């Protein structure tokens, strides 16, 4: 299995169809393939060889699409960098990966200059943005124009394709090594479950391509032909305009974006009828939000994917599941046909349906390991089973429910408390806009349950009132002992709450 | 990728759901897994080890399902034998594969006894049929009952899983080596294209499991959970009864079976509303037949798969293509998302859209090679590209059209004549029920175009009339010089016309 295979298939099936759209710029499949085969030649002229790493620090664009495929064209490794990270974190990722070439666009040009100084191993920075080429950077367009197109080396299988740095919620960044085989398996398995891409459809690629969900969404549509419309960033207005203008059949979003969309005032002036599949991930959707989103996208079905960088999607809540609704909306859906998932206790023994334990998964979709981190790899990859660090259970019908991050579980007075259970109880109070529950060190209880709360605009509530509310819903020992009221919760690039940051700031 | 993975997934998701139905016997997933893990243990007690070959000569049944999975459970190779072959051919396959264990059911018990004598390497014959166990055979049920269940060794990837003997239309049988990876890739890619299996649906497994189409159809449904209903053989009545009784969501048939169904008088008394997907293969469908089949299965969509044992399905005509109809019905559909297909000339150079050449395909779905036949393997597998021996073209939209077998192409007076073109012209005469066109050695023309014709019951036509009819449709040099009228055409197990036999009998 080989990530560039779809390119050849599309070139034969529809060479003159539009493959990419970005910022008013349309490129046919033929043009796109010509550019990526030249860029691959250009990369080789810069000294890059099979196995070398190319870092990309950019917003979604057609350049990103070309650069990923150009790397794979001759067996190089693409290392998309999380553009929301600090310069120190990005420096770490670049140094750790040993990337010698970095691509930056206009949004990250100054960071690119800084990185050039900070990373001695970085020999070349290529500017793939609008406007004039920055100092001491190569011009992306010139690299392409001056290069000789090269043939696809057809490298695939277990060859490393993607080095994605992760660790935003857990500490030291780790480079997740994803092979051609793993990414293709994930994309095919996700497609096999149905309803993630339309044959020859148009995908609005708004999930960042430095995130596994963005990559898989892009690849799944690519495998089915069609067009990618790249959006560099999200706002309700630009999104609605893009849907109205480009008529995408599939879009991928996160629930926080969906909330912003339904809360946007002028949404009815846009034609959203083209959307047939709306994928979302990162967290479940509330019934209220789903209902509003369904009204907003009348022709769309809805799918939710669950997974992590190390595994890509391992389960999916299908359109039919969304129609069934109810408790199923809290589920991460059924295990995808390309993989195996089980729930284990701390000794590794499999647990029966309904019992909460660690979610582990096995199959060709699992990462090769963490780059240069054999110890960390051995901790999570045991006998081929990837230990996700997520606590959850499978119900009697095989639906996966995520309960918590294992490390977010709070042990207070000898009792296990799952932070999400407390968060769900808190969230039912009308004054609570969002919240996060963490365990803080406590001399008496070992850990104490601590809640960080954002109040809804125009509403009010104090600790006593919220604590009393929670006690009407769940056991007293699960109720937060201490509260903290903040204006906003810290979020990762993937839209996940950074509990690590909360723990640091809460002491 | 590993063929037993779905078994574990199903066992977790729905242990008490019915996994197999055969002859009124229902087995839950839990029972089925218990039996296959015991059978794997029993096989090991018989001396079988990873890599050893187990031949199966039987009609479709739940035993077949258990035996395939039991082999894969410990890394053995299943070698399903074409039960329509002669004893001499089957002997060849058993000897060539070096199978030490053979499973036979009641339909092939006497052949089994003969094979036991004819094949010195065959140490054990296991009787997996109804009625008393035959002489000098082991009792399948007893092997299971006395065995200790063993753990799945989780052998997968490039490990050989399936050895399928083919060559019915071309001469000496060859063992096609199919790996876990190849079969899983084919099944996932076929599912990814959509509309071949329903999640947790019921598949009526009537295509023989010794045929790649039968295996892929069975596996695709298995990957999506659900139930397999096994039918040992086809007749319109038993098929219609099975659909009425078991309410399958998907069925796989060949056009000749579909023709028999629509011609069956009492079909309206059966409830066929459960069928949502009807797969067919081996040949295209006529618009007239499709219309009648659509009326017969009002809730069904239709998909056609094209491929060969060496590649499984490589293209598919989708439900939407069937609704578009017209010329598309003559097409084998679009290239599947897991593979690559191109058209090449005899030098291997790729041909542009519309030009006829050999169909070749590349990807993880391709066989490992022919068992013990490096020369024959090298002839068809060149730089990883499988040369199908089929002549065809891709149109401007990427639809694949099969024109002929390369070796069925006739060269007469220096001109290439594709036999199917002549057959299509002949078939338009009202008196022609079916026909085959071949090239016969000819001193004047090199080869001459020769037609073998089955006349429609109650109609009449002679050579002159048919030749004149053909000349109104295609060039004179393509028109048959000689005719032969027969009662029936010789067909392979897969329903393909055996042109080799026609050539032998026509001289």
Look at A88 and B162; give whichever has higher pLDDT.
B162
Check: CB of residue B408 under 8 Å from CB of residue B499.
yes
Residue/partner pairs of B135-140 with CB below 8 Å, 24 or more apart: B137/B104, B137/B109, B137/B112, B137/B113, B138/B46, B140/B39, B140/B63, B140/B103
Closest residue of chain A to B343, computed from CA coordinates = A12
Q: Which of B12, B156, B342 lies at the smallest CB-CB distance from A342?
A: B12
Q: Does domain A5-9+16-392 have CATH number 3.30.1490.20?
A: no
**Beta-carbon separation of A12 and B342 below 8 A:** yes
Q: Looking at residue A499, what is its pLDDT?
A: 85
Q: Looking at residue A169, what is its pLDDT?
A: 47
Q: Report the DSSP pairing between strands A77-80 and A53-57.
A: parallel
What mean pLDDT value characterizes chain A?
A: 92
**Beta-carbon separation of B353 and A191 below 8 A:** no
Per-residue pLDDT of chain B (507 residues; tens, 9 = 90+): 999 999 999 999 999 999 999 999 999 999 999 999 999 999 999 999 999 999 999 999 999 999 999 999 999 999 999 888 888 889 999 999 999 999 999 999 999 889 999 999 999 999 999 999 998 999 999 999 999 999 999 999 999 999 999 864 455 789 999 999 999 999 999 999 987 899 999 999 999 999 999 999 999 999 999 999 999 989 999 999 999 999 999 999 988 889 889 999 888 899 999 999 999 986 777 888 888 999 999 999 999 999 999 999 999 999 999 999 888 988 999 999 999 999 999 899 999 999 999 999 999 999 999 999 999 999 999 999 999 999 999 999 999 999 877 778 888 887 778 888 889 889 999 999 999 999 998 888 888 999 999 999 999 999 999 999 999 888 888 899 999 999 999 887 667 788 888 888 775
* Residue in the structure block whose two tokens are 């990957």: B223
Asked whether this chain's domains A5-9+16-392 and A416-506 adopt the same fold, the reply is no
CATH number for the domain formed by residue range(s) B409-506: 3.30.300.30
Check: CB of residue B123 under 8 Å from CB of residue B148.
no
Interface A-B: count of C-beta contacts within 8 A: 112
pLDDT at A168 over 70: no
pLDDT at A255 over 90: no
- Centre a 10 Å sphere on the Cβ of residue B373 and count the other Cβ atoms it contains: 17
**Beta-carbon separation of B189 and A193 below 8 A:** no
Q: Quick check: helix, strand or coil at residue A332?
A: coil
ipTM score: 0.86
Count of residues making up chain A: 507
Q: Which of A223, A334, A384 lies at the smallest CB-CB distance from B192?
A: A223
Nearest CA of chain B to the CA of A309: how many Å?
Answer: 19
In angstroms, the CA B478 to CA A113 distance is 71
Q: Which CATH superfamily is domain A416-506 in?
A: ANL, C-terminal domain (3.30.300.30)
**Beta-carbon separation of A5 and B334 below 8 A:** no
User: At a CB cut-off of 8 Å and minimum separation 6, what does A235 contact?
Assistant: none
Of A207, A412, A224, nearest in space to A313 by CA: A207
Q: Which of B5, B9, B398 lies at the smallest CB-CB distance from A13?
A: B398
Residues of B with CB below 8 A from A153's CB? none
The domain spans of chain A are 5-9+16-392, 416-506
Cα-Cα-Cα-Cα torsion B365, B370, B371, B374, nearest 10 degrees, comes to -130
In angstroms, the CA A318 to CA A324 distance is 10
Helices B29-45 & B5-13 angle (0-180, nearest 10) = 140
* Residue in the structure block whose two tokens are 């499709």: B290
Partner residues linked to A263 by β-bridges: none
In angstroms, the CA A183 to CA A177 distance is 10
Of A281, A128, A169, A271, nearest in space to A217 by CA: A281
Nearest CA of chain B to the CA of A258: how many Å?
Answer: 27
Check: CB of residue A58 under 8 Å from CB of residue A265.
no
Residues of B with CB below 8 A from A192's CB? 188, 191-192, 223-224
Nearest CA of chain B to the CA of A220: how many Å?
Answer: 9
Q: If you write DSSP's letter for every residue of B171-208 in order, what string do you get?
A: SS-EEEEEEHHHHHHHHHHHHHTS-S--TT-EEEE-S-
Residues of A with CB below 8 A from B397's CB? 13-14
Q: Report the DSSP pairing between strands A399-405 and A385-394.
A: antiparallel
Q: Looking at residue B415, what is its pLDDT?
A: 77
- Centre a 10 Å sphere on the Cβ of residue A240 and count the other Cβ atoms it contains: 20
**Beta-carbon separation of B224 and A342 below 8 A:** no
Instruction: Tell me the per-residue pLDDT of A318-343, one tens digit each, with 9 for 90 and over.
Output: 999 999 988 898 899 999 999 999 99
Q: Quick check: helix, strand or coil at residue B278?
A: strand
Q: Which of B9, B337, B340 lies at the smallest CB-CB distance from A188?
A: B337
Closest residue of chain A to B189, computed from CA coordinates = A188
Q: Which of B192, B318, B342 lies at the smallest CB-CB distance from A188?
A: B192
DSSP character at residue A491: B
Check: CB of residue B293 under 8 Å from CB of residue B302.
yes
Q: Quick check: helix, strand or coil at residue B358?
A: strand
Residues of B with CB below 8 A from A2's CB? 363
pLDDT at A170 over 70: no
Residues of B with CB below 8 A from A335's CB? 9, 12-13
Nearest CA of chain A to the CA of B342: how many Å?
Answer: 8
Q: Where are the alpha helices (DSSP H) in B297-370?
A: 319-324
Q: Looking at residue A482, what is its pLDDT?
A: 95
Residues belonging to chain A with any Cβ–Cβ distance to chain B shorter than 8 Å: 1-2, 5-6, 8-9, 12-14, 154, 156-157, 184-185, 188-189, 191-194, 199, 223-225, 318, 320, 334-335, 337-342, 353, 362-364, 384, 394, 397-398
In angstroms, the CA B428 to CA B71 distance is 48
Check: CB of residue B52 under 8 Å from CB of residue B76.
yes
Of A396, A505, A22, A204, nearest in space to B12 by CA: A396
Q: What percentage of residues in chain A have a pLDDT greater than 90?
A: 76
Task: Please give the order of strands across the beta sheet that includes A124-127.
Answer: A138-139, A124-127, A101-104, A53-57, A77-80, A160-166, A174-179, A369-370
CATH fold for the domain made of B5-392 = Rossmann fold (3.40.50)
DSSP character at residue B3: T
Nearest CA of chain A to the CA of B1: how many Å?
Answer: 6
Residues belonging to chain B with any Cβ–Cβ distance to chain A shorter than 8 Å: 1-2, 5-6, 8-9, 12-14, 154, 156-157, 184-185, 188-189, 191-194, 199, 223-225, 318, 320, 334-335, 337-342, 353, 362-364, 384, 394, 397-398
Instruction: Tell me the per-residue pLDDT of A411-441, one tens digit each, with 9 for 90 and over.
Output: 888 777 888 889 988 999 999 999 999 999 8
Q: Looking at residue A486, what is its pLDDT?
A: 93
In angstroms, the CA B266 to CA B444 distance is 53
Of B428, B418, B416, nearest in space to B453 by CA: B428
Q: Looking at residue A409, what is its pLDDT?
A: 80
Nearest CA of chain A to the CA of B263: how many Å?
Answer: 35
Q: Extract the tokens encoding B56.
A: 């199966």
Q: Which of A13, A14, A398 lies at the smallest CB-CB distance from B14?
A: A398
Q: To probe the interface with A, which of B13, B17, B395 has the most A CB atoms within 10 Å?
A: B13
Of A471, A406, A464, A467, nearest in space to A439 by CA: A406
Whole-structure pTM value: 0.87
Q: Looking at residue B171, what is its pLDDT?
A: 59
**Beta-carbon separation of B398 and A199 below 8 A:** no
Q: How confident is the model at residue A507 (pLDDT cuts 50, 70, 90)?
A: low
């Amino acid at each position: 299995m080989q990530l560039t295979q779809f390119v050849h298939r599309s070139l034969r099936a529809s060479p003159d169809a539009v493959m990419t759209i970005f910022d008013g710029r349309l490129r046919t499949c033929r043009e796109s393939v010509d550019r990526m085969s030249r860029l691959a030649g250009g990369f080789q002229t810069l000294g890059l060889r099979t196995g070398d790493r190319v870092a990309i620090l950019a917003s979604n664009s057609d350049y990103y699409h070309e650069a990923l495929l150009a790397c794979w064209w001759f067996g190089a490794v693409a290392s998309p960098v999380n553009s929301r990270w600090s310069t120190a974190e990005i420096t770490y990722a670049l140094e750790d990966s040993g990337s010698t070439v970095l691509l930056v666009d206009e949004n990250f040009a100054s960071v690119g200059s800084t990185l050039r100084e900070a990373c001695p191993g970085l020999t070349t920075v290529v500017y793939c943005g609008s406007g004039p080429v920055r100092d001491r950077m190569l011009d992306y367009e010139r690299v392409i124009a001056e290069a000789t197109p090269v043939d696809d080396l057809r490298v695939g299988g277990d060859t490393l394709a993607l080095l994605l740095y992760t660790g935003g919620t857990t500490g030291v960044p780790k480079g997740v090594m994803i092979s051609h085989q793993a990414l293709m398996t994930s994309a095919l398995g996700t497609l096999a479950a149905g309803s993630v891409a339309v044959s020859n459809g148009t995908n609005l690629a708004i999930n960042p391509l430095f995130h596994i969900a963005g990559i898989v969404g892009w690849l799944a549509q690519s495998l089915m032909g069609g067009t990618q419309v790249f959006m560099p960033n999200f706002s309700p207005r630009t999104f609605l305009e893009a849907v109205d203008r480009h008529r995408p059949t599939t879009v991928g979003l996160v629930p926080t974006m969906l909330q912003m969309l339904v809360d946007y005032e002028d949404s009815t002036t846009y034609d959203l009828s083209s959307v047939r599949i709306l994928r979302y991930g990162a967290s479940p959707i509330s019934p209220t939000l789903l209902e509003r989103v369904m009204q907003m996208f009348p022709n769309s079905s809805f799918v939710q994917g669950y997974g992590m960088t190390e595994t890509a999607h391992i389960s999916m809540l299908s359109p039919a599941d969304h129609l069934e609704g109810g408790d199923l909306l809290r589920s991460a859906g059924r295990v995808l046909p390309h993989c195996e998932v089980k729930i284990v206790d701390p000794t590794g023994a499999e647990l029966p349906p309904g019992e909460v334990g660690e979610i582990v998964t096995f199959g060709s979709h699992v990462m090769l390991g963490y780059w240069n981190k054999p110890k960390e790899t051995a901790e999570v990859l045991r006998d081929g089973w990837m230990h996700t660090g997520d606590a959850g259970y499978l119900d009697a019908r095989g639906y996966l429910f995520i309960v918590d991050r294992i490390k977010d579980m709070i042990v207070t007075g000898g009792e296990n408390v799952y932070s999400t259970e407390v968060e769900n109880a808190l969230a039912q109070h009308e004054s609570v806009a969002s919240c996060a529950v963490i365990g803080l060190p406590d001399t008496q209880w070992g850990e104490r349950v601590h809640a960080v709360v954002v109040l809804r605009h125009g509403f009010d509530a104090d600790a006593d009132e919220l604590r009393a509310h929670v006690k009407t819903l769940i056991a007293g020992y699960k109720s937060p002992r201490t509260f903290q009221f903040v204006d906003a919760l810290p979020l990762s690039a993937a839209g996940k709450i950074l509990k690590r940051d909360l723990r640091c700031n809460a002491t």
